Amino acid sequence: METIIIIVFVLGYLAITLEHNLKIDKLIPALAMMALLWAIIALAHMPVFEIIPGIGKESHHLDGVLLHHLGKTAEILVFLLGAMTIVEIIDYFDGFATIKGYIKTKKKTKLLWIVSTLAFILSAIIDNLTATIVLITILQKLIKERELRLWFAGIIIIAANAGGAWSPIGDVTTTMLWIANKVTALVLVEHVLIPSIFCYAIPTFIASRMSVFKGSVESDASDNDKPKSKYAATMFYLGLGAIIFVPIFKSVTHLPPYVGMMLSLAFVAAFAEIYSSAKFNITTIDGGESESAAHHSPVHHSLSKIELPSILFFLGILMAVAALESLGMLFDFAGVLDSSVPALGTELNSTKISDLVVVLLGAGSAVIDNVPLVAASIGMFQIGIDEPAWHFIAYSAGTGGSMLIIGSAAGVVAMGMEKIDFFWYFKNIAWLALIGFLSGAAVFVLMRNFILNV
Alpha-carbon torsion 71, 77, 79, 81, what sign?
negative
Return the minimum-mean-pLDDT range out of 180-184, 420-424, 439-443.
Answer: 420-424
- What distance in Å separates the CA atoms of residue 266 and residue 239, rounded to the nearest whole number? 11
Q: What is the dihedral of CA 22, 378, 169, 441, to 10 degrees?
A: -90
pLDDT at 191: 93
CB 257 within 8 A of CB 188: no
Phi-psi region of 74 (alpha: psi -120 to 50; beta: other; left: phi over 0): alpha
Average pLDDT over residues 240-253: 89
Q: Where are the domains of the chain?
A: 1-46, 47-451
Per-residue pLDDT of 51-107, as tens digits, reads: 555 445 556 788 888 998 898 889 888 988 888 899 889 888 888 888 877 787 888
CB 410 within 8 A of CB 157: yes
pLDDT at 362: 87
Per-residue burial over 114-133, b if 16 or more Cβ lie within 10 Å, else e, is bbbbbbbbbbbbbbbbbbbb
CB 96 within 8 A of CB 86: no
Distance between start and end Cα atoms, the chain? 42
Per-residue pLDDT of 322-381, as tens digits, reads: 888 788 776 666 556 556 654 443 444 433 567 888 888 888 888 766 777 787 788 777
Q: How many CB atoms lie within 10 A of CB 197?
A: 18
- What distance in Å separates the CA atoms of residue 119 and residue 196, rounded to the nearest whole number? 12
Of the candidates 149, 160, 87, 154, the one whose C-alpha atom is nearest the C-alpha of residue 117 is 160
- What distance in Å separates the CA atoms of residue 90 and residue 232, rounded to the nearest whole number? 7
pLDDT at 298: 86
Per-residue burial over 136-156, b if 16 or more Cβ lie within 10 Å, else e, is bebbbebbeeeebbbbbbbbb
3-state secondary structure 424-435: HHHHHCHHHHHH
How far from 19 is each of 23, 72, 165, 430, CA to CA, in Å?
A: 5, 27, 25, 21
Per-residue pLDDT of 276-285, as tens digits, reads: 874 444 344 4
- What distance in Å separates the CA atoms of residue 364 and residue 397, rounded to the nearest whole number? 8
Q: How far is C-alpha 296 from the chain's CA centre?
A: 30
